Structure 1
């Protein structure tokens, strides 16, 4: 009898979840250093039909940022084909999780071309994959010192600072990354997460989420459903706060 009640209860819970249409919100996982999604209280059906309206000034800003040059690409020095080929090999090895071999090749390349920022970026990625955060931080900093417009390195370094609880340093790196390429979608997305979850600057966070979404559209990329959900959730949060005032 208890078994029947148990399965009946599970069935009812499952049906409730399906019918309620649970929404998601960003949550940072310190173990994996990634932002995951978690279920939050479902919104009443009548509110689910209302899509947040993006202000015209935000759309105009996104369009303006989209048209700005990528300084990392514009100012990058020419690279020999041989180096490009070896770098492509490293990228493939990293994807296959052959980190030791990839690291060996990169270290050889840094002896030949120590001024190439991208080599230190990849060494940082390997160190981070091995959970050697301090070493990764050193490599990313080296990459930035060689090319201040390496927004990839700044984006990664910002994530490390965020994990360390150095939120202002993290914000500084995300901001500088966006100065090098204002149309950097991940930069806006990550800065939005930092402002939303860690600094409590909800209005600024919403703007960066919306800009990221609009930049995806301008780049003919598919809709990021997680990002869309965060925008909807944060819009409601701010609306409720305004009502309380």
Structure 2
């Protein structure tokens, strides 16, 4: 992995976060990946939609994919108001709001969503991402853990927990466990790099103590 200057890390963090009030990320082997949007649009948990609603959702999905988050949020707000029990629609609305720089609105949407669909892992995962960005690391930990309680095979939550434990909480053994779980579920080769670098940190820590 090529070396990355701290100045570049902070610049990339600012670009990803879109909010000057968020805490800068500490330097670390997984820092760039950790600051990417580790949450994705969902089509799961959608109810039966009318033809008009299906068209509306398709337009919102296209807007999300094209980066037009304001248009996506407008379409999804209308759908979610009509179908508040639809976890997939509520999640995508929160995702669009977050990507549009409306973190507070995204958190409100997620709070409403988990109140009626507490089993929906993507919602807890996204809530954890938002909490982490705002520096609420233990709250982020709880959300990621709840995502895994809802779905033990939800790989992204394992990755987010690994990032959180390594980069923000300094709990390296816990980070190692969740990197391993993420790799076992995805076979993502990048996880091997993260694990190798983390192992070096663990060995250095053992040598110093």
Q: How does the TM-score come out when normalised to structure 1?
A: 0.65
1:96 is aligned to 66
2:150 is aligned to 180
1:80 aligns with 2:80: no
Report how far residue 211 of structure 1 moved: 1.0
Taking the aligned partners of 2:186 and 2:3, their CA distance within structure 1 comes to 22
* Structure with greater strand share of residues: 1
Match of 1:233 among 193, 197, 206: 197
1:224 is aligned to 189
Match of 1:242 among 171, 191, 206: 206
Taking the aligned partners of 2:46 and 2:98, their CA distance within structure 1 comes to 26
Report how far residue 210 of structure 1 moved: 1.0
Inter-CA distance 110–195: structure 2 relative to 1 (3 Å threshold): same
Inter-CA distance 164–135: structure 2 relative to 1 (3 Å threshold): same
What pairs with 1:140-219 in structure 2 (closer than 5 Å)?
A: 140-217=110-187
User: Who wins on radius of gyration, i.e. which is larger?
Assistant: 1
2:32 is aligned to 36
Q: Which has the higher contact order (CA 8 A, sep 6+)?
A: 1
2:93 is aligned to 123
Unpaired runs of 5+ residues, structure 1, are 1-20, 38-72, 218-222
Number of aligned positions between the proteins: 180
Taking the aligned partners of 1:211 and 1:117, their CA distance within structure 2 comes to 26
Q: How does the TM-score come out when normalised to structure 2?
A: 0.76
Unpaired runs of 5+ residues, structure 2, are 18-24, 26-30, 34-43
